[in-house]
């Protein structure tokens, strides 16, 4: 079933909770389609007056901020063994190459890696736990987390909602377009990170020692 058609059968309160929980779990470090759920819900809000876009955006923002904060706390307590455990559970997302790429981003950009990571699918999963593992000062993490959460979650909700209202006559096509764009953005960012991850893995792999006759 189409994601938005399924959401259309869910009561408004459940949609608010669903958006907050899914985005919170994704931000915590669990690979979930938070962006697709948010885009679909915002489009649904533009069609039905029962769903308040302000409440929807607030739930998404709170979920993003709280989820990232919990991920930070878990990462700070669990350390690198946590990343190794996640790599065993989610090898496609928490491979050594992906972790190396994300870690280099944190070392280069610091708190801004948390802020801009909110807009990249894979980094959105890494940001909280990795910031904790690297012992980033919490106040820096919190500032970047709050600003990134508000801009990404609230901004995405507002843009999709108002475009949906303006383009009401094209809404059905836009619904598909919105989801396709969200998926394409996520896939593109993942492909870029995979390429960087492979490069990082290659750089970390020591050259083979030649055999001695």
Average confidence (pLDDT) over 85-94: 65
Q: What is the pLDDT of residue 21?
A: 95
Q: Categorize the per-residue pLDDT at 212 as very low, low, confident or very high, splitting at 50, 70 and 90.
A: very low
The residue-averaged pLDDT of 93-112 equals 72
Three-state SS at 211: coil
Do residues 145 and 152 make contact, with C-beta atoms less than 8 angstroms apart? no
Per-residue pLDDT band at 211 (split at 50, 70, 90): very low
Q: Measured between alpha carbons, how far is 127 from 106 in angstroms, rounded to an integer?
A: 9
In this structure, the number of other CB atoms found within 10 A of the CB of residue 206 comes to 5
How many angstroms separate the CA atoms of 85 and 105, rounded? 21
No. of H helices and E strands in the chain? Answer: 10, 0
Q: What local confidence, expressed as pLDDT, does residue 109 receive?
A: 77
Which tens digit of pLDDT belongs to each residue from 11-46? 889 889 999 999 999 888 787 888 888 888 888 888
User: Which pLDDT score, from 0 to 100, does residue 115 have?
Assistant: 86
- pLDDT-based confidence at residue 114 (cuts at 50, 70, 90): confident
Whether the per-residue pLDDT at 63 is higher than 90: the answer is yes
- Per-residue pLDDT, averaged over 94-104, amounts to 70
As a whole number of angstroms, the distance between CA 83 and CA 88 comes to: 9
- 176 contact partners, CB below 8 Å, separation of at least 6: none
For residue 126, pLDDT beyond 70: yes
Which pTM value belongs to this model? 0.69
- 16 versus 47: the higher-pLDDT residue is 16
Range 172-186 average pLDDT: 55
d(C-alpha 56, C-alpha 46), whole Å? 11
């Amino acid at each position: 079933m189409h994601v938005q058609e399924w959401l259309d059968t869910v009561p408004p309160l459940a949609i608010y909770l669903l958006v907050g929980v899914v985005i919170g779990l994704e931000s915590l470090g669990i690979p979930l389609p938070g962006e697709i759920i948010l885009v679909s819900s915002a489009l649904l809000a533009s069609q039905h007056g029962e769903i308040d876009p302000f409440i929807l955006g607030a739930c998404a923002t709170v979920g993003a901020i709280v989820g990232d904060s919990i991920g930070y706390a878990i990462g700070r307590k669990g350390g690198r063994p946590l990343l190794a455990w996640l790599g065993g559970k989610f090898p496609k997302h928490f491979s050594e190459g992906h972790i190396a790429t994300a870690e280099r981003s944190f070392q280069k950009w610091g708190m801004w890696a948390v802020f801009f990571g909110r807009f990249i699918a894979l980094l959105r999963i890494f940001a909280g736990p990795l910031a904790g593992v690297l012992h980033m000062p919490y106040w820096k993490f919190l500032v970047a987390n709050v600003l990134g959460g508000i801009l990404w979650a609230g901004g995405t909700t507002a843009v999709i909602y108002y475009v949906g209202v303006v383009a009401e006559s094209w809404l059905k096509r836009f619904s598909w377009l919105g989801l396709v764009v969200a998926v394409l953005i996520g896939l593109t960012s993942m492909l870029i990170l995979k390429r960087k991850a492979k490069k990082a893995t290659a750089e970390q792999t020591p050259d083979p020692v030649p055999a001695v006759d």
